[in-house]
Chain A
Amino acid sequence: MSLRWVNTVYLQPFAVLPGASTEVQSPDPVGNYVKESNSSEPVTAIVSSSPIFTNIFSNVPVVWESELVREYHELGDALGQMTELDEGNAWKIEKPVFDAACFVAAGLFLTEQSAPRIFNHGPQSIVFNWERKKANLYLTISADTISALISSPERVQRRIDFSISDTSRPALLLSALQSANLEPTRHFRLRGNVPELVEVVG
């Protein structure tokens, strides 16, 4: 269909679950759609006009675009400040680490992952951290490697190490993490209010 005949585009989120039935679900009173899935297969979700991505974390919020842009702006600012700190400062990171972190962050942004918390334990790496209900995810990014760690309060569940040069897109890393983080039952949940239909005038 030619877009020149369309002057209004509405954005609508929807999810595709494996073995989906024809059941139509209504949102809860605050506008959330909740669907529990007992399948171990990947769940595919499409939100707004973004490309299809694989849901990695069952409880990492799907944040809306403007909030995501703001979060990643703040992340970039923080990383830049850490590069400019004096030598010997506990939060200082080296320039090659900054470059690698920005590369990874860009990929995370493109796949619409929520921005991570960050910390470091020396100038030669930065750690991206997401806290999950059952376990936390840590990406340790150095100048040439990424180490992914999934850890619960009880034990380290999984560790995967990548070379930066081997990972063309961070989404591949996240997909690998998903395959490693096997759970017999996953709950897929869209968080946040269903937005008003957004009118985009073309």
Chain B
Amino acid sequence: MSRNSWKLSADAKMKWGRVADTDSLFRLSTHPIAFKIQKKKLVFASAKVMNIKKQDDGSWASSFAWERYVPTTELVHDYGCRLSLGINNAARNSGTYEDSTRNIYCGAYQLRASDVRELPTAVDDVVSADVYHLIENDEFAHAHLRVILGGKLPIEGTKTAILVRLWEACYGPLTHVCDCDKQIDPHPYLALEPGPQGPYHDTRSRFERWRAVMGFRVCNWLWQKFFR
């Protein structure tokens, strides 16, 4: 049986399970994207942790890492380091890379899928909001946020309300220094602000964490072997 015959349909390939309301999502914070210049210094800008971008179909989208497929903090940070590496490689390929402004992964903030799905009741003019698993750029743990706006209120104000509500739902940060950034002193992760909901907390039982890690290893093996 050929390798190709093992490949499932695009939908099955792209979505492996539903993101439950109680599942954690991680929003990764990198420097300098989540920082701003203030008095000639780059300082952390919490308002830049979240972002939504308009899609071709008129919806608004953002990205998270889904805890089911990054079940440990180490795996969350591996995801973040790969994210920064990908941004820097893209800059090198386009000829815009500068070492002084290279992307540096600093840490991750945690929120729940329920916080996303509550946006229609929390924010005026949000018609629907959902988050689902969507493998993107070969990142198995990527989850896609999709928001539909009604268009009855000024969009810019609605965007602010969405980003504010998502930030207000955040725990953390989980901070990290990637191996390639260990020589940076002081590291920008030191500037990350506490999440409004408090420090990161893992509500899973020890069994649930073990099961999540086992499930990740199986799915990741299947993904690497048959679908990449």
CB distance from A54 to the nearest CB of B (A): 24
* Interface members, chain B 117-142 (any A CB < 8 Å): 122-124
CB distance from B36 to the nearest CB of A (A): 6
Tell me, in angstroms, the Cα distance from A108 to B165 when the chains sit together: 25
Contact with B along A105-129 (1 / 0, CB 8 A): 0000000000000010110110101
> Can you report 24 residue pairs joining A to B where beta carbons are below 8 Å apart?
A78-B37, A119-B47, A121-B156, A121-B160, A121-B163, A122-B156, A125-B159, A129-B47, A136-B164, A138-B160, A138-B161, A140-B159, A145-B154, A145-B156, A147-B153, A149-B160, A149-B161, A151-B161, A153-B196, A153-B197, A155-B122, A156-B123, A159-B153, A159-B157
Which residues on A sit within 8 Å (CB–CB) of B36?
91, 119
CB closest residue in chain B, given A143 = B156
Which residues on B sit within 8 Å (CB–CB) of A74?
39
A119/B122 contact (C-beta < 8 A), A90-B33, A145-B156 known: no
* Interface assignment of A142: CB less than 8 Å from any CB of chain B: yes
CB closest residue in chain A, given B163 = A121
* Interface members, chain A 9-29 (any B CB < 8 Å): none
Which residues on A sit within 8 Å (CB–CB) of B154?
140, 142, 145, 147, 161
Tell me, in angstroms, the Cα distance from A127 to B52 when the chains sit together: 15
* Interface assignment of B72: CB less than 8 Å from any CB of chain A: no
Q: For this complex, into which size category does the number of interface residues on chain A fall?
A: 20 to 34
Which residues on A sit within 8 Å (CB–CB) of B197?
153
Tell me, in angstroms, the Cα distance from A119 to B34 when the chains sit together: 11
CB distance from B53 to the nearest CB of A (A): 8
Taking a contact as CB atoms under 8 Å apart, the answer to whether A156 and B45 are in contact is: no
Taking a contact as CB atoms under 8 Å apart, the answer to whether A121 and B159 are in contact is: yes
A145/B157 contact (C-beta < 8 A), A136-B164, A153-B196 known: yes
* Interface assignment of A81: CB less than 8 Å from any CB of chain B: yes
CB closest residue in chain B, given A119 = B47
The 3 tightest CB contacts between A and B, nearest first, are A147-B157, A125-B156, A119-B47
Tell me, in angstroms, the Cα distance from A159 to B125 when the chains sit together: 11
Which residues on A sit within 8 Å (CB–CB) of B156?
121-122, 124-125, 140, 142, 145, 147
